Structure formats: C-alpha cells, structure tokens
A and B are shown apart, each in its own frame.
Chain A
Amino acid sequence: MITVIEGAVVYSNLLALLAIGLTLTYITTGVANFAQGSFAVFGSYVTLSLLRLFDVHPYYALPIAFTAGGLLGVGAYILILRPLIKRGAASVILMIATLALDLVLLGIIGAYAGFLGNISGKGATKFIFTPFDSEILGISGIFLISILVIILLIAVLLFLLYRTNFGIALRASMENPSLAVIMGVNLEYTRLFSWFLSGSLATLAGSLLPFRQEIVPSTGAIIIVSIFAASIVGGLSNIYGALIGGYVIGLSESLVTYELSTILGSGVLLYGKVISLVILCLVLILAPQGLAGVRWRRVLRLHKGGGG
C-alpha cells in the first residue's frame, strides 16, 4: 500500500508539472497545446540518449533535459504558433497546429528510437529507468526527487512572480493583456518565457516518468488525456489551479483504480484514464471555471445556511 501511495504521489507531481506548463501557455498565448504529452516523451528520450550514449545517470541529466525542452517550446512558439497568432488564426486552427506538431514529434521520436536502438545496441522503443533508482532511508529516490522538483519550482515561481519586476509584468499580462501593453509591458517576452518554461517543465516530467512507468514513443498520446483533465480541473486560468488539478487527477487515477481493483479484480487497473475522464466531465458540469474558479467561501456559506 505504501508503494502504491508513493507511486501515486510521484505520478501526481509529474502530472502537476505537465499541467502547469499547459496552463501557462494557455494563459499567455491562448493555445491549448496538444503536443504537451510528446514534449514529455521528448524529454524521456533526451535522458535515455544521455544514459545510453554517455552513461549519464538520469538524475544528472535533468538540467540538460530542462534546457532542451525549453528550446523545443520556444522553437514551437516562434516557428509555428507566433505566425499563426499574428495572422489572427482561430483557436481551433491553433489546436490543429499543435496536433500536427504532436504528430511530427511522434514521428521523429519513433524514428529516433529505432536509430538509438541501432547505435546503442539496446532496444529503445520501450524502456524504464527503475533499475537506476536508489533508495534513501527506505524511500525511493524518485519520490524525493519529484517532490524536490515541485517544491523548487513553486519556490522559484513565487519568487519570480512576486519579487521581481519581470514577475509583475508577467502577472499583469496574464490578468489583463491589453492593459499591460498600455503600461509598456512587452507581451512577447512573457510569451517566450511561458513557452520556454512550459517546454522545460514537460521534458523534466518526461525525464522522471520512466522511473514510474514504461515509455514507448506513443506514450504522449496516452498521457495527454490526464494532462488536459488536470489542467481543466484546475481551471486553465491559474497556475496553482493546475497544481491542484495535477494532484486531484494523479491521485484519483492511481488510488481510485487501485481501490477498485481490490474489489473488482486487477482488470480495472487498465482503466485509470476513465477516472480522469469522469472527473473531467464532472468538473465541466459542476464548476466549468475549474476548482480554482469556485468561490469556496460562498459554497461553504451556502452549505452552512442550508444546514442551519
């Protein structure tokens, strides 16, 4: 049971990273990035290549994966999305563009997996990092590392957003872009920054994901449902919402399916994504603004009023 909870927390941490990235680019550029899952798998393969070719331990590869992902995000924005946004393309067109980018990435990753397998002499179309993980005081390394990454991220974000001028400009352009422009904020910087951070958080999550589950080139297509569920549960408008959404979806996907499997048999374990979909639909029906958009005080007051 402890290992189940540990695994669930690790998964939630990684999902939170992915959802924060997705939400960030949605806030600043209005693009719902369907390639976020493939960004993560890209990160997994960057880390795998460093391990196979240069014998770098996955944990030490994190800074490189972070940078590579940031460049991928910025590249996607500059080459594909910025021209489309400048032309005033509809949001559906932007989404189709990210679907196309997702497909290109899937193709490149699949081809590269074959190539890497050939030159390293070990199959690369399916891999897992768990043998490289070590235990510290009886707790698995990935558990500590993923929590450390989340805490670091939140600390950096809090400092950046609330203690620097750039952060104030960033928050202003998220909350009211036109007013921010009038006040002299350059939206382009905040957009570039958000795409860099989104890409690098995705590849960071992707580098750590093989410690928890097996990665194949098409893993992105499977986890994208969970990423979107987490982001929508968080409201797609608020970074902290995405964090909460990541935990809500991650924990329920692992723990609810685990609980169900003890009653209904291990066959249920395959249907984790159904739980995400159900939660996604419930949130859309009950609180379309996401959990972060609910006015909890009012809900509580109503509840109290109803009870008394």
Chain B
Amino acid sequence: MEKSSAIAQRGRRISLSLEHIILNIAIWFGLYLIVSLSLNIEYGFGGIPNFGRALAVLMGAVAVGALVNRALMALFGINGDIIVASGEVKRVMNDLILQNPLIGVGFLLVVLTVAALAGAVTGALLILPSARLSEDYLAITLLAISEVFFMISYYHPDIIGGYYGTSVPDIFAWAPSEWRIVLFALLVIVTAAAIYILLDRILTSPYGRLLKAMREDETVVRVCGRDVMWIRVRTVALGSAVAAIAGALYSLYTLNVIATSFGRVEWTFYPFLMILLGGVGNKRGVLLGTFLFVLIKILLTTYKYELRDLFRLSFETVWLEYIIFGILMLLILLYRPEGMIKEEPILTEPMKVCVKRRR
C-alpha cells in the first residue's frame, strides 16, 4: 500500500514537472490548431456550419488504424483479426524503424497522405446533402452522420477494433523513450506551422475572398457566375483533409486508435469554441483562441488532483471541464460574439502596398 502510494506520488511529480506541462501544451496546441484552422476555412470563411468536424478527425485515425494497418498486414503476410494483427504489425514495424529511422519518416509521410485523402473524400461526400438543405437542417444532418459513424466505429470491432482499439507503429521507435515526447511536440508544431502558412496562402488568394462572399450572401456569388455547390465541396474537402491529418498525428502519438478518443465534444464542440473565442474568420484569432483553450485545458488536467482536494469535489474533473467550457462558450456568445480579435479584411499584395503608402 505504502509502496504504491509512493509510486503514485512520484508519478504525479513527473507529470507535474514544468517540461512535461510545456510539452503537453505544445502537442495539444499543434493538434488543436490544425483542427481549428480546418474549421476556420469552413465555418469562419465559408460560413458552412460543419457540426460533423469530429468525423473527419476520426477518419484520419481510421486511415491509420484500418487502412494503413491492413496494407501493412498484407505486406508482411500477417493474418488474423485487426486487433491482434495490428499488434504484430506494430512489433515488426518498430523493429524496422529501430534499424532504419528513415523507414519511420517514410511511414509518417504515407500515413499523412492516406489520412488527408480519406479526409478529403469524407468531406466531399459529407457536404453533398447541402445541395438541398437549409443551414439548420444541414447542421443537424452533419451532426447526426458524425455521431452515427462514431457509434459504428466504436461498436464494430472490424473497423478499428471497436472498444479494444488497434495498435499503431511508433515512428520514433529508434529514439530513447524520454525523447519521444519532445520529438512528437516538434513534429506536431512543425506540421501545424506548415498548415498555417499553406492555408494562409490559400485564403489570401481570390479563393479566400470568394469564400467570405459566399458566407455573406450566396446569391451574389451565384449571380457572379460561380457554382456555390462546387465551392462548398472543395472547401469541405480541404478542411476535412486538414482535420484528418490531426486525427492521424494523434493516433501516431498515442500509439493506438480507439473510437472513444474522437468524440463530438473534443473534436467538434471544442474547435468551435476555439475559433469563436479567438475570433471567427481570422488567423490570428484562431491562433490566440486555440492557445488560450489549450492552456486552460492542460492546466485543468494537470492540476486535477489539486483541484479536487481544494474544492473537495466528489466527482471526476472531466465534468468540471465540460461545465467550464460550456459556460465559457455561452459567455462568448452572449457578451463577446466577435471574439478576442475582430475580423479584418484580407490584405492582398496590392492592398498591402496601399496600406503602407497611407502610413
């Protein structure tokens, strides 16, 4: 008894260490930034209420757990059900990556590509009902589709192992275990930064202004001879591809894929909270909103035992997290609907020159 409590004490001290907190914030900031950026294209710029964001993230994880794992099973000639066989695949792959780290890099690139493709296809199919539905119906339908797919992948053991989940190879199998989290933080941050820059380039192009025009008034866009449906399909496919990358990275980080990690609250509601907190349709707002959200979330999870002792809570702190973030969202909607940073017009190159001259 004493020994186990001593171990628990030590475990708590490790998890409370500053480096660990910072690394955790970095990883979650990167992951959530990717998702909130993806939602910002669709909702912030395009005005599409994608209440099924979690589905694209889940698809990224399914791409790793179901598609890539099965391809590797075929490659190595491993048979059996996905739950056991993925463990075997993980063992073989980890050995290979240990011998040659480049295989890990190749594996990462393959995984991200497959995830992005799976996300894009899912997104393009998901948005098709919008051709006939008004905004309300669309939001409800997307949420229902996302929720049902979540349930299927949780109950059905043949997709990603149901409630057992599937294993995922470790792309940093060659690194010592204490370096793994550092390498991952770097990987996630670099990926998020690349996506940030790429999306910024895409959204400052005429396409970004087209999206904002669609958000404000679809009829005007139609009058100008643009096909609104085609814009929507492209936008949601792009957004979902980006969100799927976050799902894939998360699976690579946790080394397994299990449907329960991809719920509606974590990957649909929280991203909406982040972009509404920071400011809809503006990149700096998304950056700030995501950072503040992750900071609160990580501090809450890190100090959950202290919080429980301090307030003598007799329940799990996850409920407290839900209450806090739900109320935060309501406060934003009621008192600061424009978010922390207000939306600015898109500065194109000629406009930047004009602004400079004015100054």
Contact = CB atoms under 8 A, between A and B. Distances in A.
Given A107-B323, A284-B129, A284-B133, A93 B318 contact: no
B293 interface: no
A92 B135 contact: yes
Nearest to B329: A100
A239 interface: no
Contact residue range for chain B? 35 or more
Contacts of B145: 277
A114 B315 contact: yes
B272 interface: yes
Contacts of A97: 329-330, 333
Contact of B333 (A96, A104, A106, A229): A96
Contact of B137 (A93, A104, A107, A232): A232
Contact of A271 (B155, B324, B330): B155
Given A32-B139, A280-B144, A281-B141, A288 B132 contact: yes
Contact residue range for chain A? 35 or more
A293 B28 CA distance: 47
A103 interface: yes
B314 A115 contact: yes
Interface stretch (B62-70, B146-154, B189-197, B222-230): B146-154
Contacts of A89: 333, 337
A277 B129 CA distance: 13
A110 B318 contact: yes
Interface string B151-172: 1100100000000000000000
A186 interface: no
Given A107-B322, A284-B141, A288-B133, A99 B330 contact: no
Interface in A251-300: 270-271, 273-274, 276-277, 280-281, 284-285, 288
B174 interface: no
B326 interface: yes
Given A274-B148, A277-B148, A32 B136 contact: yes
Contact of B139 (A95, A101, A102, A276): A95
A101 B135 contact: no
B314 A95 contact: no
Contact of A284 (B43, B137, B273, B330): B137
B144 A285 contact: no
A87 B319 CA distance: 31
5 contacts: A32-B140, A92-B49, A103-B323, A107-B322, A284-B137
